């Protein structure tokens, strides 16, 4: 079974956004432009690389203020890997979590 990079990115974004503390998958405009220049595949804030049958993902997030970042990153890694491997038959080699932005606290 073949699964497109777009589908992998969409599923990874869905999984990441289920973790408490994650506001959204987010890629800064500067990084998005740099990815295009480097010809990297980024969709919905998820960078997808196919490495001979296994995938390496970069999950770029905007998170809530006050969130424990190491715990959040750990949970996102686990959730994305389990979600993708459970719904598809793809192997996820690595999930890199990048905190791009923090939602400011309410006034």
- Three-state DSSP class for residue 19: coil
Note the pLDDT tens digit of each residue in 8-67.
Answer: 999 999 999 999 999 999 866 545 444 444 455 677 789 999 888 799 999 999 999 999
Domains in the chain, start-ordered, CATH in brackets? 5-103 (3.30.70.1350)
SS3 58: strand
The answer on pLDDT for 4 being more than 90 is no
- pLDDT class of 2 with cuts at 50, 70, 90: confident
Block residue for tokens 């980024």? 42
Residue 68 has pLDDT above 50, yes or no: yes
What is the 8-class DSSP label of residue 89?
S
- Helix H or strand E segment including 40: none
- Provide the whole-model pTM: 0.84
25 SS3 class: strand
Could you give phi then psi for residue 96, rounded to 5 degrees?
A: -95, 125
DSSP E strands in 1-90: the ranges are: 22-25, 42-43, 46-51, 54-64
In the block, residue with structure tokens 């999930």: 95
């Amino acid at each position: 079974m073949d699964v497109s990079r777009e589908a992998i990115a969409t599923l990874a974004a869905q999984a990441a956004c289920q973790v408490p503390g994650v506001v959204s998958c987010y890629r800064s405009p500067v990084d998005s432009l740099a990815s295009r220049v480097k010809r990297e595949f980024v969709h919905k804030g998820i960078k997808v690389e196919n490495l001979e049958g296994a995938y390496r993902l970069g999950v770029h997030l905007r998170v809530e203020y006050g969130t424990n970042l190491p715990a959040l990153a750990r949970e996102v890694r686990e959730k994305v890997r389990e979600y993708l491997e459970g719904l598809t038959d793809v192997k996820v080699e690595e999930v890199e979590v990048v905190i791009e932005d923090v939602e400011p606290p309410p006034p």
